[in-house]
């Protein structure tokens, strides 16, 4: 009788231990990344959202417009293809694609290896576009200075209430695709209120990478983040 009762409990304990040591290892590498970015005079941003919330579209515009005066670089993670790296590379910024295979998030080691492939001379900001996923990236520090969570008008106002960990970990929340908020019946004020309830620490910016509404606020925030000197 004892055996079948004990086995699942032991398995659960081991799973927790393995997960904890994975996260500890990631935190150590994230600290190394953070120090490396500091030494390079670089501020790193980790962009997280569900698939299709508009990370790459915002970065395409940012690298072209903001990147004109402030050199930037990007690392982008997807399960497969280098489509996003190709899109971002049109700006002529240094870009590295990470293909994770089946992993649903980036970890600090993947970012370190991708950064090895980039010529970061002169770059002041490093954008890290995470794999589209509103759950797993919450637990993985990449060594970023700022975590930016995107919530698009197409997803509904309730996502901060339903996926709290990622929003609690955000420094900034971008409400994206506000150009189509009306047609989608997306209540911008209600969404911002839900973010404030779950993540009172986060700065909220409503923007559209398509129409350009709100984009100056985003650029002001990036400008303030650029390391001095």
Ligand X SMILES: Nc1nc2c(ncn2[C@@H]2O[C@H](COP(=O)(O)OP(=O)(O)OP(=O)(O)O)[C@@H](O)[C@H]2O)c(=O)[nH]1
- Binding residues (CB under 6 A) for ligand X: these are 49, 51-57, 84, 132, 176-177, 179-180, 208-210
Shorter beta-carbon distance to Mg ion: residue 166 or 192: 166
CB closer to ligand X, 105 vs 171? 105
Q: How far apart are CA 83 and CA 88, in angstroms?
A: 9
Give 132 or 160: the residue with its C-beta nearer to ligand X.
132
Please report, for residues 48, 53, 123, 186, the alpha-carbon distance to residue 95 in angstroms, rounded to integers and kept in the order given.
17, 20, 12, 33
CB of 52 to Mg ion, least distance (A): 8
* Residue 164 interacting partner from Mg ion, ligand X, none (CB closer than 5 to 8 Å by kind): none
Cα(196)–Cα(173) distance, rounded to whole angstroms? 10
User: Distance between alpha carbon 71 and the CA centroid of its chain, in Å?
Assistant: 19
Q: By the 8 A CB rule, do 56 and 88 touch?
A: yes
Q: Which of 42, 61, 73, 84 binds Mg ion (CB under 5 A)?
A: 84
**What is the nearest approach in angstroms of ligand X to the Cβ of residue 157?**
17
Helix ranges (H only) for 66-139 are 83-89, 108-116
Choosing from 26, 46, 49, 56, the residue that interacts with Mg ion (CB under 5 A) is 56
Extended beta strands in the chain, E state: 43-48, 72-78, 95-99, 125-129, 146-152, 172-176, 203-206
Cβ nearer to ligand X, comparing 36 with 219: 219
Selection from Mg ion, ligand X, none that 57 binds (CB < 5 to 8 A by kind) is: ligand X
**Would you tell me which residues interact with Mg ion (CB under 5 A)?**
55-56, 84
């Amino acid at each position: 009788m004892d055996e079948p009762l004990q086995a699942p409990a032991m398995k659960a304990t081991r799973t927790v231990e393995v997960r904890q040591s994975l996260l500890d290892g990631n935190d150590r590498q994230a600290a190394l990344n953070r120090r490396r970015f500091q030494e390079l005079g670089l501020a790193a941003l980790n962009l997280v959202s569900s698939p299709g919330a508009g990370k790459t579209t915002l970065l395409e515009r940012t690298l072209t417009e903001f990147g004109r005066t402030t050199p930037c670089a990007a690392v982008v993670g997807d399960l497969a293809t280098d489509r996003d790296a190709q899109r971002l590379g049109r700006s002529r910024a240094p870009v590295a694609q990470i293909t994770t295979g089946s992993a649903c998030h980036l970890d600090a080691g993947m970012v370190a290896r991708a950064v090895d492939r980039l010529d970061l001379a002169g770059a002041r900001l490093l954008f890290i576009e995470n794999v589209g996923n509103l759950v797993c990236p919450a637990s993985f520090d990449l060594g970023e200075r700022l975590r930016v969570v995107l919530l698009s008008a197409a997803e509904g106002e309730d996502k901060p209430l339903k996926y709290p960990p990622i929003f609690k970990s955000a420094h900034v929340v971008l409400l994206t695709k506000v150009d189509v908020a009306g047609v989608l019946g997306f209540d911008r004020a209600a969404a911002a209120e839900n973010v404030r309830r779950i993540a009172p620490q986060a700065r909220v910016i409503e923007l559209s990478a398509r129409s350009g509404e709100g984009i100056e606020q985003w650029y002001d925030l990036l400008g303030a983040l650029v390391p001095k000197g």
